[in-house]
Structure formats: structure tokens, C-alpha cells
Amino acid sequence: MKNILTTKHANLELKTIPSLFSNTNTLTSDLDINNNNITSFQLKDIPLDVTNRENADVIITLDYIDGINPSDFKKVGTIADKAKDYLTNYPYNPNDLFEVINRNLASELLNDCNLGLSKVLDSLSVNLDVEPKIIPFQFDNTVTLTPNGDISDIVSFNLQDVTSPIDGGIVTDVTINLDYIDGIDSSAFQDVIPIGNYIKDFLENYPVEAGLYEVLNRDLTQALVNDSNFGLSKVLDSLSINLDVEPKIIPFQFDSTVTRTVNGDINDIVSFQLEDILLPIDGANVTDVTVKLNFIDGIDPSGFKDVIPLGNFVEDYLAHYSNPNDSFEVVNNNLGNALLTDSNLGLSKVLDSLTATLGAFSPSVIPFPLENTVTFTPFLNSHQHESNMTSA
């Protein structure tokens, strides 16, 4: 039987490093020498030497060559100083887009011979999270460079408290991800302010007053990709939009994510969360439950499911769970299987996968928070488990 626990992770936070720092070391189950090391650190509130003097948080991620000799790890303090100095004394046009600034920074770090990163990394990623100012909403950009010249650019921004007429006027937060064609010329980056204004106007004037948010999200992504004024279809690999809807008609946290590629592929993911559900195991526990539905790519919108009956099913199943001696992992496995196989719900016919996450705290048995995730794939009739335990 294959061991499903195939990796080990170590994540460290060190007070001696003058920035938020973490290191993840992944080993295969047989302790393969070709382990993978990823180091990430954050610089906060760095003043950018640009026209409007924005501040930014900067996260730098170093993905080391697998199996690298520990003596080749680099001191992050030196890299951090270089990044901070570069941004506070930006040597190019102060009117450059943040995407261009970030590209220049990543290239400077990777190619600096004194740092020597190009010889020890598989890739370098830099995330620039810019405070709202000239861009009037949350905005961040991530660029990933490899030593052989590959470049990936992802832009993300968030609009908060946007109102749509669906269900009597729901309020939603909208997160947009623009995944640019790898290596695209920097002149092709799009101004996100008009895109943000377009999205807000689209939602506020959506002509349908009752319907599924999944369909609304589909319509929004299609409108954006097809709008010739933006030309996104010529510069993106994919566009992703997440609608995080405040509880109203749906009485719990709910969000819909649609990812659309320019060649017509569509992926829909729906997530919802129930909080403080009483679970009668180990003398009664309170648990939070998150369910993620990954629909078959390109599914007809008629295949989307009303999440309210699904939420009621989950709450009833847990509240009346019959075996009080089962572990959280067994409970979650049984819940996921019940959701997927119930003929009245019909999920097995419309999903690529279903993921259930059970977060619980049982002081009498486990003295720290426990989170367990199980993923089912209906057509393969299989499932995978992942458990995370965090000390209180």
C-alpha cells in the first residue's frame, strides 16, 4: 500500500532575521536526498521611489535547486537589504507600472553576481503588495524568474463591498487574477484601474435580479475577456475572478471562482463554510466545515448546485453523527463520501472533485487545533487525506 504521507515540512520563524521569514523543507517518504528547500521572507512598508510615493510590502521567495548543499544557502539579510535599497532608490522611470518595477527588481536580484542567486536557485519570485493610493484598491503583482530566462507575471487586485441586484442587493468582495502570457513584453501590461471600474459597473448594473452567483461570475469573466477595449484575450493565459458573497439569501460564507483561458477553457470552483457546528464525538465538539466543489470543466450552468441544501445536509450529518468514538479524520472521510454519493444531491455527476475540511478543537483529547482535509474524485472513486495540526 502506498504511503499517503509523502512529504515532511519544516517552517521556521526566526527573530534574528529583520523581516518575516519562513523556510520549508520537503522530503519524500523515503528521505530522498533530492529534497526541496524554499525560503520566503517579507519586507514591510518599503517606500517606493515612484511618482506617488506609495509604500509596499515585499515578499521574496527563493526556490533552491533540489538537493542543494546546505553551504550554498544565501543570507536573506543581504538579499533584503539589496531589495530595499533598489526600491527606495529606483533607478528608472518613476512613472513605471508596478509590474515593470517588480520585473526590474526580480531581474536585479537574480542577476547580481555578488548575491550569486542564479547559480543556486530553480526560481526567484517577488510579490509587490502596494498600498492603495494612485490605484484606489488593493493591488499586488508577483513575478517569477528562472535562471534560464523564463518569466511569469501574475497581477491580482481586490474590490470590496460591491453591490449587485441579485437576491435583493447582495454585497460581494471581488478578487481578480490576471495571469499574463509567459515572457510577455512589459509594454503589454494593462492598467488595472479601468478594469476595476468595468467590473464594478458590470456587477452594479447586472440585469438579472435572481439567479446563481456562479452564472453571474461566468458572465463577468466572459465579458472581460471579450471586451476589445481591454484586449485581455491577446495578453493573458488566463483570467480568474473570485466573488466572496456576504451571508444573506445564502446564510453562510460562500464564494465562487471562475477561471477562463483565452482559448475557451472554463473552470468553476464553489466553496462554502459552516461555523460552530456541534459534532457529538469525544463528548461533543464544535467544528468549522469548509466544502469545495470543483465542477467539471466547461459544465453547462444548469449543472450548478444550490449550496443551501448542501449546507443543510452537512450540518444535519454532523449534528447527528452516530459513532462518538470516531476520530476527526474518520468523520471527515465519512462526510465527504456521504456528500458525494447522496443521489438527491447529485454531486457525483457534475464534479471533478469534492474537498471537505474539518477544523476542530477538542481539549479533552487533542490539546491544540486540528484541521483535516479529504478530497474525493468521483470518477476515479478515490480520495486523499491531509491533516494539519497547530499548537495552541
Handedness of CA 79, 85, 91, 93 (dihedral sign): positive
Decide if 92 contacts 104 (C-beta within 8 A).
yes
Residues 290 and 219 in one domain: no
Q: Do 338 and 300 reside in the same domain of the chain?
A: yes
In this structure, are 134 and 168 located in the same domain? no
pLDDT value of residue 26? 60
Q: What is the pLDDT of residue 391?
A: 39
- Say if residue 226 is in the same domain as residue 291: no
CATH code of 240's domain: 3.30.1130.10
Q: Could you read off the pLDDT of 233-275 as tens digits, one per residue?
A: 999 999 999 999 988 888 999 999 999 998 889 999 999 999 9
* End position of a domain, from candidates 149, 182, 197: 149
Q: Are residues 302 and 163 in the same domain?
A: no
- pTM of the complete model: 0.86
Nearest to residue 274, comparing CAs of 241, 307, 306?
Answer: 307
Q: Which domain holds residue 211?
A: 155-264
pLDDT of residue 6: 41
Number of domains in the chain: 3
Q: Are residues 92 and 159 in the same domain?
A: no
Question: What's the pLDDT at 177?
Answer: 98
| CATH assignment at residue 95 | 3.30.1130
pLDDT of residue 3: 36
Rg (CA), the chain: 23
Residues 111 and 17 in one domain: yes
Name residue 93's beta-bridge partners.
none
pLDDT for res 301: 93
Comparing C-alpha atoms, which of 271, 335, 278 is closest to residue 305? Answer: 271
Of the three residues 149, 174, 199, the one that is the final residue of a domain is: 149
Q: Last residue of some domain: 113, 132, 149?
A: 149
Closest CA to 25 of 63, 55, 56: 63
Same domain flag for 239 and 132: no
* Ranges of the chain whose pLDDT falls below 50: 1-16, 33, 381, 385, 387, 389-392
In the chain, the amino acid numbered 93 is N
**Residue 133 sits in the same domain as residue 8:** yes
Residue 224 confidence (pLDDT): 96
Q: Do 139 and 197 belong together in one domain? A: no
**Cα–Cα separations (whole angstroms), residue 216 to 87, 97, 172, 192, 248:** 40, 31, 12, 21, 17
How far is residue 64's CA from residue 37's CA, in Å, rounded to a whole number? 6
Whether residue 101 sits in one domain with residue 117: yes
Assess contact for 43 and 21: CB atoms under 8 A: no
Same domain, 6 and 137: yes
